[in-house]
A = this chain, B = another copy of it.
Amino acid sequence: MSDPDALVRSSDPEHPANHICTLCAKFYSLGWVTGTGGGTSIRHGDKIYIAPSGVQKELMRPTDMFVMDFESREYLRRPAAHKPSACTPLFYAAFKRGAGCCIHTHSQWAVLVTLLVEREFGSSAPFEIEQIEQIKGIPKGRDKVGNLGYFNRLRIPIIENTAHEEDLTDSLEKAMEAYPDSYAVLVRRHGIYVWGDNVHKAKTQCESIDYILQLAVEMKKLGLPWTTK
């Protein structure tokens, strides 16, 4: 580890250190990472690349990245100017289950849906919706082939928020076990974690779910139900 900066130096736009920067700039324009909120992490072989805490997500540079060894969970690169992301153990929970990329947003649609579900179905209910074409953007589940169909019901578990983000890890992992086919967990009054086998899939799934959450909020404004029965 003579030169940890070599880990974030690449001319390849799809190198994780570069890719996290372009993704987060896009996510900023989608309203997902306002005010340094949210974050993104990519697993690249035996390394995990993580955006730092408290940084303006649309202005990040590759040299801002933390790099962690997957096995030892030790930092291979730790920029002195930054604090590691409190989301790190949450991202790690997804990587342990085979994810290649994990995205955390503070999307307002996610926050509003968690409140609407609580009011209508109680605090232990997941978000459920069906018969929306965009559901097809989400895979059936780990070790299953293909994506959900139009007539499948999408279920996303909701966990309660905690005072400290890292304290979400236990309930996030429990939700992952209780809903083994889900690629996302909503956090009440906070946002959402979405992961995928690789960057392309994580981004596609996060966009598809955010689309569905926005649609769900608009449906409630218009008095339209989320499920047909």
Question: A residues engaging B (CB < 8 A)?
Answer: 31, 34-37, 54, 56, 106, 108, 111-112, 115-116, 119, 131-134, 137, 149-151, 161-163, 187, 189-191, 200, 203-205, 207-208, 210-211, 214-215, 217-222, 224
Alpha-carbon distance between A205 and B34 when the two chains are bound, in angstroms: 10
- Residues of B near A37 (CB, < 8 A) are 133-134, 137, 208, 211
By DSSP majority rule, is chain A's interface helix, strand, loop, or mixed?
Answer: helix
Return A170 CB to nearest CB of chain B, in Å: 16
Given contacts A34-B208, A217-B222, 16 further A-B pairs with CB under 8 A are: A34-B134, A34-B207, A35-B205, A37-B137, A106-B211, A108-B214, A108-B215, A111-B132, A111-B133, A115-B222, A116-B224, A131-B189, A132-B189, A149-B163, A150-B161, A221-B222
Query: Do B112 and A191 have beta carbons less than 8 Å apart?
Result: no
Looking across the interface, which residue of chain B has its beta carbon closest to that of A58?
B26
Return A100 CB to nearest CB of chain B, in Å: 16
Query: Do B219 and A115 have beta carbons less than 8 Å apart?
Result: yes
Total copies of the chain: 4
Alpha-carbon distance between A161 and B228 when the two chains are bound, in angstroms: 14
Could you give 10 example pairs across A and B, Cβ below 8 Å? A34-B207, A37-B134, A37-B137, A56-B204, A111-B132, A112-B218, A115-B222, A119-B224, A133-B161, A133-B191
Alpha-carbon distance between A56 and B14 when the two chains are bound, in angstroms: 14
- Residues of B near A208 (CB, < 8 A) are 34-35, 37
Given contacts A116-B222, A200-B56, whether A133 and B207 have CB atoms under 8 Å apart is: no
Query: Do A150 and B162 have beta carbons less than 8 Å apart?
Result: yes
